[in-house]
Structure 1
Amino acid sequence: MNKPAPLDTIPVKNTIAGHYGRFVHGSKSTLAFWEIKAGFESPVHQHPHEQITYIAEGVFEMSLDGRKYTLKQHDTLVIPPDTPHGGRALEDCKIIDSFSPARDDYRY
């Protein structure tokens, strides 16, 4: 049975240096709430999930399939499945990512 869960009650997972995430999983999707410290990088990677990124706070430089984008507060970006991407927080950031299908690697 599903019930509401305040975000601050969801455990934090430190996935890579400077990246702290809280994850909400459905059967077919995952919603990730990230806090990324300024200067920390997400190495270029790819995965079979479609990803939609929303910048809630801060500035994040995103590399997507070889092109660079500077994403600021309230910007969005769709990352197709199997597309190389990565980036760096230019400021402390709060980022929300949706993934489909669900990211089982982020489950506890």
Structure 2
Amino acid sequence: MPFVDTNQLPRHERRPGWAGRYFHSPSLTFAHWDFTAGSDIHEHQHEQEEVWEVIEGELAVTIAGETQVASAGMAAIVPANTPHSVVARTDGRAIVIDYPLRTELP
């Protein structure tokens, strides 16, 4: 699978306001999120390191109790096993990459 057309992947709404398209490489999980203003992802943690790259819009990302607004062109790096949460300040899009794989995602 050297090429993936992410526009052709099925959309999954994991939480209200968060519609994602997922795919896996041999060692990474990728999620292409479309989010709506005011929607959130509750505080949680997991064994994977996670990188959020904002493509469009603004997200308030909290990592280990520290919150920063990330806008287009910014990335937030969440270390493995670290509490984090996200609130969409606007409508937008982000790409999230997890290492190693998140096998529970479609």
TM-score (ref. length: structure 1): 0.93
Q: Which residue of 2 is the match for residue 64 of structure 1?
A: 63
1:12 pairs with 2:8:
no
Letter in 2 for 1:18: G
Q: Which residue of 2 is the match for residue 38 of structure 1?
A: 37
Q: Distance in 1 between matches of 2:100 and 2:4?
A: 21
Letter in 2 for 1:83: T
Does the 8 Å CA contact 2:61/2:76 hold for their aligned counterparts?
Answer: no
Q: Which residue of 1 is the match for residue 49 of structure 2?
A: 50
**Misfit runs of 4+, over 3 Å:** none
Does the 8 Å CA contact 2:32/2:96 hold for their aligned counterparts?
Answer: yes
Q: Identity percentage over the alignment? A: 25
1:73-97 deviation per Cα after TM superposition (whole angstroms, max 9, x unaligned): 1001110000000011000020001
Q: Distance in 1 between matches of 2:41 and 2:27?
A: 24
TM-score (ref. length: structure 2): 0.95
Contiguous gaps of at least 5 residues in structure 2: none
Contiguous gaps of at least 5 residues in structure 1: none
The equivalences for 1:89-108 within 5 A come to: 89-107=88-106
1:9-39 deviation per Cα after TM superposition (whole angstroms, max 9, x unaligned): 1011111111100011012111110001110
Alpha carbon RMSD of aligned pairs, Å?
Answer: 1.0
The equivalences for 1:17-32 within 5 A come to: 17-32=16-31
Q: What is the Cα deviation at residue 53 of structure 1?
A: 0.9
